[in-house]
Structures are given as C-alpha cells and as structure tokens.
Amino acid sequence: MSQLAKLIAFLDRDEVSEVVIATGRPVAVRQGSEYRAVSKADVSREQLALLVAGTPIAALIDAGHGSSPSVTVGDKTIAVEVKPFGAEVMVRMTRAVRTRRATRARPPTQSGAKPEPALPPSSTHSRARVKRPTRSAAARTAAASASDFGGLVREARQRGATDLHLAAEREPQARVLGTLVTLGDSMSAAAVDDLLRPLLDGAQRAQLEERGYVDTALEIEGGGRVRANISRVRLGLKGSFRLISQVPPSLEHLGLPKELARVTTYHQGLVVIAGPSGHGKTTTLAALVELINTHKAHHILTIEDPVEIVYPRRKSVVSQREVGSHTRSFATALKASLREDPDVIVIGELRDRETVEIALTAAETGHLVMATMSTPSAAKTLDRLIDMFPPDDQQQVRTSLAAALKFVVAQRLLPSADGEGVVVAVELLTGVIPLAALIRDNKLYQVGSLQQRGRAFGMIRLDDSLAEHVRAGRLLEEVALRYAENKKELAAVLHPQGAGAPAATTPSAAAKGFQKFGNLFKKGEDR
C-alpha cells in the first residue's frame, strides 16, 4: 500500500498528468506528451498484484478491464482505467475530476504546456436565465461536450473497439472486430455539432469551413489518444476517430515474424510497410520504431500526419514532427531532415513522387528510412514506387531502389477462428541480391518465384503465413482460402494427398492468447 501511495503521490505534481503501471514494462509517469520511467525494472504480474492488494483497483485487474472515475486509495481519490495490453495488463491512474476535457495534441516543442482546466458550473446563473451566452457559459458548454465525447471514447475502448463514428441523426457507433455496434441513442445534428466543434481550435474550425474536413490527433483525458477526421456531410457534421494504442506495442505482442527484428541491425536502407487501408501498417511501423528506441542510442525523426503514437523516452532521442503544425509537407520535412543528424527517418506515408525521391536519396546516403504505403502486396508496392516516376526516370529509380531496399512487409488483418479477435497474415520480401537483380532488370513478375525459394533468405509468402495460421487453429480454412493468392496450392498444402480437413479448427489456449493481440493493430492506424 505504501509503494502504491508513493506512485499516486506523483499526481500531486503539476507537470505529471498520469501514472502508468504496465506489466512487462517499468512504471512510468506522463509529463506533457512524453512518458518517463520511474522504476528501473519491469513490473511483473505478481508485483502488480501485491502493489494493489486490498484496494478497489485489484477488482478491476481481476476482471481484466474496466474503469472508475473515483477510487479512494489511502487519503487520495483518483481515476483508474485497467485494460489488457497484449498478453499483459495496464493500469492508468489520473486525477479524479468531475468533468473531463479533451485537448488537442501538443507539438513536441510544447510538451510542457498544460490544457486549460474545465470551468466549474456557475452557482449564480442558470441556463434558462441567460439571454445570450457569456464567455464562461460558452466555456462550460465546451467542457461538457468534451466530457460527453470522452465518455464515448472510454466506452469504445472498454468494448475493444478500433474506431468510433459520430454522425448527425445517427446513433454513436464503434467498430468492434470489423463490425459497427451501437453505443447509444440517435443524436441530432445540433447535438453532434455541439459535441465535435469544441474539439477543434480556431484554425481548425476555419479549415473545416474552408475545406469541409479536418484531420488531427486529440488527447482525451481518461480515453487516450485518438486520430480524428471531422467533416461536413449532408445532414451536418461527421466525426471518425481511430483509437490509438496508449503505448507502442512490441513485435511479439503483434504476432509479427521474428525476422523483422533484423531492422535494428541496419544503419541505412529502406523499409516499407504495406497493406490495405485499416490493416495495421502504422502500428507495425510503431513497433519497429519502439524496437530501435529500446535497443539503440539513435536519433529517430518521425514525420507524421498527424502525430499518433507518442514514444516514451528510452535509449534513443525521438523527434516527432506533424505535417501542418510543424512543417508544410512530408517532402519539406524530409529535405530539412537531412541536416538534423538523424539515424532513422520515419515517414507516415509515401504519398507522392517527391517524397519517394527524397526517401530513396536519404536511404542511399547513410540513413535508415521506414515508411508505409497503401498497397495490397509486396510486388505491387515495388511497382507503385517505380510507377510514380516518368518512364525516362524509371531505370534510375530501379537502380536506386535495388541498392536501398532492405524489407517490404505486406500484411492483412483477418478474423480469428474463434471470432474474438484478428490475426495478421504477413508477406515479407528481404532485400537480397536476387531481388535487387529482378528490380534492376525490370523483372518484378518473377518476385513470386523468388519468394517460393527464398525462405532461406528470410522471405515469407502470404499463402505460407495463411497456412501456418490454419494449422495452429488461429484461422478458419475458408477465410484463408478467400484471401490466398493461389487457392489451389494452399488447399493442396492444407490437405496433402487428399487428406481430410485439419483437426485443429478449435483454437488452443495458446492460439487464443495470440488472437488477443490482434486488436492492437488497428489502434493508431494509417490514414
């Protein structure tokens, strides 16, 4: 109890907004937009149980998830949220407040800035008596709207949702395991407007009026970070919110192949994470960045639109820049980055020719460049990178790409066999000499053949990944066949010499543990 009280005492400091106890990681406190470790060793489940024994937090941990806006521990009253984090558990403790206010994510240079507190209800005026809104009344309305929005975000997280949708004349809906579920009653256009507009600052409201949409990231007290898109539609405003992972996940938690860990051994080159929209590219990218952050004393520069997962302070120095707030475009930030002494450059998305050109230059001149692309497969990713350039320049691009490429990871999230999560099917291309020759010689149609004989090089075919999931009971055979590149070949692999269907159609305990990690992928996903 005394140890827990010491941790809670951090919340008495103005610069500390929360205390996070996650098993498998050191205890951390949040200061501004950064997390700082306050213990030397990782916390085990046994240590966590001893730490919270005899407090209301223990019941939340036993349940596996849940939250309470008011928990008394000793002489302190705090707000507590417990949620699973892969195979581990995470406890977030914040100050207990009556109303919660959502704040816009601060840029790294303003990490010490504190959000303006929500104003308390006035005891001298009632809403009925006010003929025109005063400044304090408008502030109270904004705080109440933010509090209502925070409640929806917290409920969506408790249900394991990846996205939250708010639209005029519709019920609030959350995407759980790929399906939209209703969270409450239908909201009028005015109610949605009152809920969403207070989340934007003056410049963002002007952009909403001018362009009809706004992309940003928000820090919701008690609800974590969300990536937001607010737009005008036929009936009023529409808000789409991606629920971002609270902390960067690990490759093991995501179930990614161990071959990806080799990224920490490279000091230069290009790594591309590919896949359809909404299939976990940004989360995989974050896991790779966190791997380097944990094991290497590097300068990591990220260029994002917007900044999503905030990386804790570890061995590396991580500088996160947001397009629109800290730089005009990806290309502008990339040009400047070459003079900022980066070891690793992380690009949220390769969107245009200029960005790809600078990324290839950086990868060839001593930097490790990691980026995402919305392409369906590894071979299509290489085609897209080359086709962004005019025909006269493509041979030079092939030469540069062949020299710089280290990895292409293409992934898909598929529903698990037990219907309680998702599993990731991965295709992996490694930048070996035979692949470089195919790229230079414009023979990308032979990439599939190279993958068939490239297991010794660490290559993985999508169909091989699907087959492995089916054998382990993590994926139903019909789902695997639906997404296979060669359905007949996969069926032959699963049923050699006409054998019957695999017996392992019910997931084992180990398989179920694997599936629980799947939902982390879409929290903090690509734009």
Verdict on whether the full-model pTM lies above 0.75: no
- Cβ-in-10-Å burial (0-12, 13-18, 19+) of 106 comes to middle
Measured CA distances, 490 to 68, 405, 412, 461, 495 (Å): 48, 29, 17, 11, 9
Spell out the domain ranges in the chain: 2-95, 102-113+135-243, 263-461
Residues 269-277, mean pLDDT to the nearest whole number = 92
Identical fold, 2-95 and 263-461: no
Mean pLDDT, all residues of the chain: 81
pLDDT score of 401: 95
Predicted confidence (pLDDT) per residue in 314-363, tens digit: 999 999 998 878 888 888 888 888 888 999 999 989 988 999 999 999 99
pLDDT score of 109: 37
User: Which CATH architecture describes the domain 263-461?
Assistant: 3-Layer(aba) Sandwich (3.40)
What pairing do the DSSP bridges indicate for beta strands 269-274 and 368-373? parallel
Task: Find out whether 454 and 285 touch, Cβ atoms under 8 Å.
Answer: no
Residue 227 has pLDDT above 80, yes or no: yes
Predicted confidence (pLDDT) per residue in 149-162, tens digit: 888 999 999 888 88
Residue 14 has pLDDT above 70, yes or no: yes
Query: Can you give the three-state secondary structure of 398-450, one letter per residue?
Result: HHHHHHHEEEEEEEEEEECCCCCCEEEEEEEEECCHHHHHHHHCCCHHHHHHH
DSSP class per residue in 466-508: HHHHHHTTSS-HHHHHHH-SSHHHHHHHHSGGG----S--SPP
Predicted confidence (pLDDT) per residue in 360-382, tens digit: 999 998 899 999 999 989 999 99
Count of beta carbons in the 10 Å neighbourhood of residue 5: 12
Predicted confidence (pLDDT) per residue in 65-86, tens digit: 778 888 888 888 888 888 876 6
pLDDT score of 145: 53
Task: Find out whether 280 and 244 touch, Cβ atoms under 8 Å.
Answer: no
CATH, range 2-95: 3.30.450.90
Task: Find out whether 516 and 421 touch, Cβ atoms under 8 Å.
Answer: yes
Measured CA distances, 324 to 88, 304, 321, 333, 419 (Å): 36, 10, 9, 11, 39
Q: In which element (H, E) is residue 209 found?
A: helix 202-211
Distance CA 403, CA 390 (A): 20
Residue 226 has pLDDT above 50, yes or no: yes
**Would you call 293 helix, strand, or coil by DSSP?**
helix
54: confidence class by pLDDT, cuts 50, 70, 90: confident
Predicted confidence (pLDDT) per residue in 251-268, tens digit: 888 888 888 888 888 989
Percentage of the residues of the chain whose pLDDT score is greater than 70:
83
Count of beta carbons in the 10 Å neighbourhood of residue 206: 12
Measured CA distances, 150 to 158, 222, 395 (Å): 12, 7, 52
pLDDT score of 12: 86
pLDDT score of 189: 93
Residues 199-211, mean pLDDT to the nearest whole number = 90
Predicted confidence (pLDDT) per residue in 291-306, tens digit: 999 999 999 999 988 8
Instruction: Name the fold adopted by 102-113+135-243.
Output: Beta-Lactamase (3.30.450)
pLDDT score of 86: 62
Contacts of residue 34, defined as CB under 8 A and 6 or more positions apart, other chains included, come to 111, 310, 312, 313
Task: List the one residue out of 393, 391, 459 whose CA is nearest residue 431.
Answer: 459
Distance CA 398, CA 387 (A): 10
pLDDT score of 525: 45
Distance CA 360, CA 338 (A): 12
pLDDT score of 138: 45
Peptide bond into 306 cis (omega under 30): yes
